Structure 1
Amino acid sequence: MARPHLPSTEAAVTAVREVARAYNLEMTVTDDIGTDQTSRRTSAGAFAVVDADGSLPHEAFIELGGAPAVTVQVFPEDDARITVDGVAIDDVPRDSVPAFLRSVYGGLAYVKGRLFTRGYWLVVPLPGDETYKELVPRAILSPWLSRNLRSR
């Protein structure tokens, strides 16, 4: 199944809203609009609101209710940071965000590792051959992460 192209931050927020509705999750969104508000616009001049090309960058921070605790920070540069129970996964393409969330809430995401190793890994498989893996320090192994633990 081909992923829909999400041409803007607002399109990504709309797609996340659809996922939240499908899984009956509460959702709050905070929008930051303008270079003076977005987190990555260090190249813009002091007190600038628009980019050099005249565009108005839009960043959104989304909090989803339920278990696991998930936040999504959608950046104007076509990528996102998704945090699942304290485990942050950076550089997720904006187009992959809905599939990522469906994997987490649909029961496909899991944690792998062993008790006496370096740690655990959060594994989030997406349709096709795309998989995200992020180290989970033992100190933040939440109840949801523990429930989804698979031994190697």
Structure 2
Amino acid sequence: MGRHRHPHLPTTESAVGAIRAVAEEFHLEMTVTDDIGADQTSRRSSAGAFAVLDPDGSLPHEAFVELGGSPAITVRLYPEDDAQITVEGVVFDDVPRDAVPAFLRSCHGGLAHVKGRFFPPGWWLVVPLPGDENHRELILRGGLTPWLSAQVR
């Protein structure tokens, strides 16, 4: 205990545990790569050249989680308490780490859907979260996978 940088924000380990709970709930395979140490995090631009430890002395690290099943989802947890979630090739950046379990439940529970628009033209993947919050991202041309096509409303 006492390693939390911010008491209200989960650590990478607890975030992975929350994803694991969702994977078990939906009977999904899960692969975790979490040996990414402070010396090789992909985004550590704000730290000084020799700042390997966070101010509280803990090693910042990220984790990459792949979930089996359909839709194909990967989650990259960053040390900065946010995540990047990719659903069937559609990338959602800056998802708050504590919103990740609800995001995954929305995708696997049938709430996520695809909306088409004539202007501006395009298909959007909409992932609703509790509290009337929606994450939406444009699906690139030719990016409608069979799973995404089945979610069109």
Indicate the TM-score class for this superposition, using the shorter chain for normalisation: 0.7 to 0.9
**1:115 Cα deviation (Å)?**
7.2
**1:7 Cα deviation (Å)?**
1.8
Would you say 1:73 and 2:65 are equivalent positions? no
Secondary structure of 2:40's counterpart equals: coil
Unaligned residue ranges in structure 2 (runs of 5+): 1-7
- Mean Cα deviation higher: 110-119 or 79-88: 110-119
| Alignment match, 1:56 | 59
Task: Pick the aligned partner of 1:113 from 86, 101, 116.
Answer: 116
1-structure distance, mates of 2:44, 2:117: 40
- Mean Cα deviation higher: 110-119 or 136-145: 110-119
Would you say 1:135 and 2:113 are equivalent positions? no
Task: Pick the aligned partner of 2:99 from 96, 99, 107.
Answer: 96
**1:27 Cα deviation (Å)?**
0.2
**Letter aligned with residue 78 of structure 2:** F
**Letter aligned with residue 45 of structure 1:** A
Unaligned residue ranges in structure 1 (runs of 5+): none
**1:41 Cα deviation (Å)?**
1.0
Secondary structure of 1:18's counterpart equals: helix
**Letter aligned with residue 97 of structure 1:** V
| Alignment match, 1:125 | 128
Structure-2-length-normalised TM-score: 0.87
RMSD across aligned C-alpha pairs, in angstroms? 1.8
Q: How many residues were matched structurally? A: 145
- Mean Cα deviation higher: 26-35 or 84-93: 26-35
Secondary structure of 2:147's counterpart equals: helix
| Alignment match, 1:45 | 49
Secondary structure of 1:139's counterpart equals: coil
> Identity over the aligned pairs, expressed in percent?
68
2-structure distance, mates of 1:119, 1:36: 40
